Structure 1
Amino acid sequence: MRPALHAEWTKLRTVAGPSWLLLGAIAATVALSAGAASVATCTSTGCDTTRLTLIGVDLGQAPVAILAVLVISGEYGSGMIRTTLAAVPRRTTVLAAKAVALTGVVAVTGTVAVLGSSLAGRLLLPGHRAVSPVDGPTLRAVVGPVLYLVLIALFSLGVATAVRDSGTGIGVVLGLLYIVPIVSQTIGDPHWQRLLRQIAPMSAGLTIQATTDLRGLPIGPWAGLGVTAGWAVAALSAGSLLLRRRDA
């Protein structure tokens, strides 16, 4: 496992693409959060300022998902996957090493992005109304998005392993993340609309950011993150099964 992990870390570190995508994730997250905080007109004491300052995660997850897809689909596109599997014949070890390396870089990137967004919110919100992460709900809302980004990366890795094509993998992942919540808004039946928001990886997972009006959410914060984790586990399981059974 250690040689495989070292090889995957070397690939991430020595290729320019991953670094730019990770920087893009930080920039997109902080920029959108700062923009939302700068134009906020929220004056109510019940306003969820913490969630407002972390709204950039909605956009920042896209570069993370694209990076995770390219981690393995890029090797299929170039034919490098044959060399990788020849060097490490146990295919589950290859996938596990990619998942561990990806988890590490995304966790660091997510932490920087979330802290940057929180700082921007404190500076830009009227009256510096962003709450310091000291109480339980606010701490959960700040730590949760980092876990969410890691789960989105693992979900994307699993999808890419299953489909093996960069364009298809990116389309499937971004479609599930962004199109499903839009579709849910077009459904007239409140029951089905709520159900879709409960099972979609993005709308369910991002409830982890909420600190107010928790009873009005379609699903609880930790339960919502659990839904995203379920998507990640299912995608990785399917990807691992297909990786073992198919020819490179």
Structure 2
Amino acid sequence: MSTPQPPMPQAHSAPGWQPVPGGPYPGYTSPIPVVRTHLGHALTSEWTKIKSVRSTMWTLGVFVVLVVGIGLLAGATVSHSSSQMDDQNPLQLGFFGLLLGTICIITLGVLTTASEYGTGMIRTTMTACPSRGRVLAAKAIVFFALAFVITLAAASFVAMVQNSMVHGNGARTPTGSEWFKATVGVSLYLALLGLLSLLIGSILRHSAGAITIMIGVVLAPLVIALFMFSASLHKVREWLLEYSIPNQMSVFYANSLSNSGPSGWEPLWIMLGVTAAAGAGAYALLRGRDV
């Protein structure tokens, strides 16, 4: 005995319904065009999320206050002191504010990915965009661009003001190459450091743990090296000093903490390589784990 079929809707009561060729039921043609999603949609989504959460405004706001405030304070201290800079690069005074500002960039980078796992928002994100690689790429691009622009604006402003403040204290006029490294170079380095934090957050899926690890990566090598007094640990101490993140940042100001180690643009390539390795690991884990 055959199962009775449900009655077919009348054409006058269901406008827009059109019969499906070869099918027993009518089909519906939506007036909304179907668009194939691409990376641009994911970028728009991530930009909307990162600009609408309070953590972005707070972390970037504190970052600007630290970089500008400490930078201007350092410039004012030197300009009102009796000591001379002895033909030194005045842009190096911007190092102190940026070093403290790294904590803000690290925090925002971790929160960009790890916070979604804490709130469960990542399930909605992956449902809207099943391509996990596209989601990770969109997060990385949006965060890197935002961190670079904000850092470049703050570092450039501080550099210009400091140069004018200490001009009469024996400081030399920076060259074009020094200006470029102290603004664009260090901004690229900090943006990559924040991107590394974002990837670590994606790997660990835990905000507090990822932030703690990244702050340890920034500060621990330098602190450990400062307490290595034994002669047998001299080479280890030098290596930690040379490749610590504070020392690599100081290279962009031609004021390295050690007489050897990375120089020129080498810190940027080192950070780029480490970030690329972390990105490969984060992508592999993201594809292989459940959300």
- TM-score w.r.t. structure 1 length? 0.90
1:55 aligns to 2:96 (yes or no): yes
- Shift of the alpha carbon at 1:236? 1.8
Higher relative contact order (CA 8 A, sep 6+): 1
Match of 1:198 in 2: 242
CA–CA separation in structure 1 for the residues paired with 2:272 and 2:57: 25
1:29 offset after TM fit, Å? 0.9
Q: Bigger shift: 88-97 or 29-38?
A: 29-38
Residue of structure 2 aligned with 1:111, choices 152, 162, 169? 152
TM-superposition CA deviations, 1:179-238 (whole Å, max 9, x none): 22111222233322221133334432442222x689934321311222222222222222
Percent identity (aligned):
28
Q: Structure 1, unaligned stretches of length 5 or more? A: none
Name the Cα RMSD after superposition.
2.3
Match of 1:35 among 57, 73, 76: 73
Residue pair 1:199, 1:227 contacting (<8 A) in 2 also? no
Give 1:67 deviation, angstroms: 0.5
Q: 1:13 to 1:90 in 2, by over 3 A?
A: same
Does the Cα contact within 8 Å between 2:242 and 2:260 map onto a contact in 1?
no
* Other-structure match for 2:204: 163
Correspondence 1:8-47 to 2 at 5 A: 8-40=46-78, 43-47=84-88
In structure 1, what residue type is equivalent to 2:279? L
Residue 91 of structure 1: CA displacement?
0.9
The within-5 A match list for 1:55-204 is 55-125=96-166, 127=168, 134-188=175-229, 189-204=233-248
Q: What is the CA distance between 1:129 and its match in structure 2?
A: 5.8
Check 1:34–1:130 CA distance in 2 against 1; reply closer, same or farther (3 A cut). farther
Whether the 8 Å CA contact 1:214–1:220 is kept in 2: the answer is: no
Q: Which residue of 1 aligns with 2:43?
A: 5
Q: Corresponding residue for 1:229?
A: 272
Deviations 1:52-104 (Å, cap 9, x if unpaired)?
A: 23321101111111001000111000000011111111111111000000011
Structure with higher Rg: it is 2
Structure 1 runs of 4+ aligned residues shifted over 6 Å read none
Structure 2 unaligned residues grouped into runs of 5+: 1-38
Distance between the aligned counterparts of 2:195 and 2:269, measured in 1? 14
